[in-house]
Amino acid sequence: MSEIRKAVQKLYNTYPFPPDPLLDEPPPGYNWRWHYQSAYNFCKGRKPKKERIRILDAGCGTGSSTEYLVLHNPMADIVAVDISENALATAQKRLKKSGVLNDFQGNIEFKQFNLEDARDLEGSFDLINSVGVLHHLPNPVVGIQALGDKLADDGLFHIFVYGELGRWEILLMQRAIALLQGDKVGDYEDGVKVGRALFAGLPESSRILQREKERWVLENQRDECFADMYVHPNEFDYNIDSLFEFINTSGLDFVGFSNADFWQIDRLIKSDDLLSRVSQLSPQECYRLIELLDPSNVTHYEFFLAKPPFTRETWQDDNLLAKAKPELNPCMMGWESKSLLDYNYQPITLNDSEFEVMKLASQNPNQDLSVKDILSEVNFSLDEVRSLINRQLIIMG
């Protein structure tokens, strides 16, 4: 095993991550990125055809994501792999204790496994989730390519990797701790001790301390989080340009960021003249502009990839839209009410006719109501249906 991989494994055996408490009940709410139907709709603009799907949680850690994958995809076959046996043991305890497996009709398998060897896993996967993992591999390209090869033709690959602009203070602190540790580098408990003592003495004027206080201090009360952040033996951080170089090595298409609101330029630029200049930029240049203007909030990138040629249904064809059968997005809170939380936990208020349309859509799929059927009962236009689709409130089958 490579020295780097061994060091990473030792870190997560010492401090399994994430240190989320083990609960006696299912985790709260939802996360649409781990709900296949909702994620598929976000990426491809329609309901997936397949119901029985295979999911890979690549680098599942202590199983917080795996638990949501089980909860949201009750018919799926799920394989959860990690290199740390201690993280895997906690993941298994987590799922047992919370009871999420009681109503689960699919299969779940936990496996101690190096994801760089993903090609050795059986079959392909409709959803691959790899959050906070690829940037810790000795060579992240090896990992993204191996996982990309396991993606089913219509599959989705969700990735989260670190951003350098919002983490430069962390990198400096990592180096400072390593300098002071000397030949004790690799002793993670010592690293946490050194790091905590360093922070305790830094003056208020220190940018490293200021950043810790404004952004990270709450989560870093846990030694697992502190170690994951400041005592990590191997971390690659990206910027938009190096991120797209990395993505291009996978041979997959970039679908979009899963925190899409962050990547809207109009939250940073208001002038019409400047916005018309922005319209001349490529999408990648536009993302770069956003991170240059809002660097400290770029602590990570989270995004979906898909096999080429990637296409998204836009429902511009009136006939196609009239025939489609809408259902409610399963990731919502507060339905059946006009005021609710959408898939992203944003509060929204529906007008009367939107509410009526959504009520009829909620009767699908059993009733098989098409958009045309619904519009014969409610005074609503196809463009208003498109607005519900674009806001991810309904999913078209």
Ligand X SMILES: C[S@@+](CC[C@H](N)C(=O)[O-])C[C@H]1O[C@@H](n2cnc3c(N)ncnc32)[C@H](O)[C@@H]1O
Residues found near ligand X in the complex (CB under 6 A): 5, 8, 12, 17-18, 59-61, 64-65, 81-84, 87, 114-116, 131-133, 136-137, 228
- Minimum CB separation from ligand X for residue 162, in Å? 10
Asked if residues 180 and 194 have their Cβ atoms less than 8 Å apart, the reply is yes
Rounded Cα distance between 236 and 171, Å, is 10
Handedness of CA 225, 228, 230, 236 (dihedral sign): negative
Of 116 and 354, nearer to ligand X (C-beta) is 116
Of 61 and 191, nearer to ligand X (C-beta) is 61
Of 61 and 148, nearer to ligand X (C-beta) is 61
Of 8 and 76, nearer to ligand X (C-beta) is 8
Of 72 and 325, nearer to ligand X (C-beta) is 72
- Minimum CB separation from ligand X for residue 82, in Å? 5
Handedness of CA 171, 177, 182, 183 (dihedral sign): negative
Of 4 and 286, nearer to ligand X (C-beta) is 4
- Minimum CB separation from ligand X for residue 158, in Å? 11
Pairing of β 253-257 and β 151-162: unpaired
Of 57 and 354, nearer to ligand X (C-beta) is 57
- Minimum CB separation from ligand X for residue 228, in Å? 6
Per-position b or e across 70-94, b if 16+ CB within 10 A of its CB:
bbbbeebbbbbbbbbeebbbbbbeb
Of 160 and 254, nearer to ligand X (C-beta) is 160
Rounded Cα distance between 358 and 379, Å, is 13
Question: Which among 31, 40, 103, 14 is positioned nearest to 66, based on CA atoms?
Answer: 31
Taking CB atoms, the residue at the shortest distance from ligand X is 61
Structure tokens at 323: 């025939």
Strand (E) or helix (H) holding 375: helix 371-375
- Minimum CB separation from ligand X for residue 73, in Å? 17
User: Helix 85-98 crosses helix 3-14 at what angle (to 10 degrees)?
Assistant: 40
Rounded Cα distance between 111 and 89, Å, is 10
With the CA atoms of 197, 90, 12 and 305 taken in that order, what torsion angle do they form, in degrees rounded to the nearest 10?
A: -120
Pairing of β 151-162 and β 300-306: antiparallel
Residue 304: which residues within 8 A CB-CB, separation 6 or more?
39, 42, 43, 156, 157, 158, 159, 255, 256, 258
- Minimum CB separation from ligand X for residue 37, in Å? 21
Asked if residues 266 and 275 have their Cβ atoms less than 8 Å apart, the reply is yes
- Minimum CB separation from ligand X for residue 269, in Å? 32
Rounded Cα distance between 227 and 192, Å, is 6
Of 2 and 367, nearer to ligand X (C-beta) is 2
- Minimum CB separation from ligand X for residue 259, in Å? 15
